[in-house]
Amino acid sequence: MAAKRQIIDMLEGSLKAMKDAGADYAKVTYSQSSSISVGLREGQVVDLEIAPNSTGISMQAYVGNKSGESSPDTQRPALLKEGAQAAVDAARMKTDNPDQRPADSSLLSKIRNNSRLDLYDPAKPTIDEMIEQMREVESAALRTKFIKHSEGASASWSQSLTISLTSDGFLTESKSSGSSLGISLIAERRGEKTTSGAYSSARHRCDLQNPADIGRLAAEKTVAGLNPVKPPVTGKLPVVFDPDIASGLLGHFKDAASGSSIFMNQSFLKKAHLGQQVFSRGIHVKDDPHRLRGWGSAMFTGAGLPTRPMDFVDDGTLASFFLGLESARRLGFPLKDITGGPSNLTIEPGTLSKAQLLDGIKDGFYVTAVMGHGVNIANGDYSRAASGFWIKDGVLTHPVAEATIAGNLKDMFLNMTAANDLDRNKGARRAPTLRVEGMTIA
pLDDT tens digits, one per residue of 37-67 = 999 999 999 999 999 989 999 999 999 999 9
Is residue 202 domain-shared with residue 280, that is, in the same domain?
Answer: no
In this prediction, what percent of the chain has a pLDDT beyond 90? 91
Q: Kindly report the CATH number assigned to the domain that includes residue 213.
A: 3.30.2290.10
Average pLDDT over residues 106-133: 96
- Please check whether residues 212 and 319 belong to one and the same domain: no
* Rounded Cα–Cα distance for residues 326 and 328 (Å): 6
For residues 200 and 236, membership in a common domain is answered with no
Residues 176 and 238 in one domain: no
Tally helices (H) and strands (E) across the chain.
9, 17
* Residues 342-364 pLDDT 10s: 999 999 999 999 999 999 999 99
| Residue 76 scores a pLDDT above 80 | no
Task: Write the pLDDT tens digit of every residue in 134-160.
Answer: 999 999 999 999 999 999 999 999 999
Are both 193 and 320 inside the same structural domain? no
Average pLDDT for 250-254: 96
Cα atoms found within 13 Å of the Cα of residue 328, Cβ hemisphere only: 20
Of 224, 241, 260, the residue that ends a domain is 224
Question: Cα–Cα distance between 6 and 39 in angstroms, integer?
Answer: 36
Out of 224, 247, 281, pick the residue that ends a domain: 224
Identify any residues that bridge with 180 across adjacent strands, giving them in sequence order: 156, 201
User: Do residues 148 and 119 both lie within one domain?
Assistant: yes
Output the average pLDDT for the chain. Answer: 95
| Residue-level pLDDT at 194 | 92
Label residue 1 by pLDDT band (50, 70, 90).
low
Q: What is the value of pTM for the model shown?
A: 0.93
Radius of gyration of the chain (CA): 25
Per-residue pLDDT at 433 exceeds 90: yes
Q: Same domain for 172 and 107?
A: yes
Distance between CA atoms of residues 147 and 187, nearest Å: 4
Q: How many domains does the chain have?
A: 2
Residues 232 and 214 in one domain: no
Q: Which of 205, 224, 243 finishes a domain?
A: 224
- On whether both 26 and 117 belong to a single domain, the answer is yes
| Whether residue 114 is found in the same domain as residue 259 | no
pLDDT digits (tens, 9 = 90+) for 311-333: 999 999 999 999 999 999 999 99
- Determine the structural domain holding residue 261 and report its residue range: 228-442
**Helix axes 211-224 and 127-142, enclosed angle (nearest 10):** 40
The verdict on 170 and 217 lying in the same domain is yes
Residues 435 and 418 in one domain: yes
The pLDDT of residue 125 is 97
Q: Average pLDDT, stretch 401-412?
A: 97
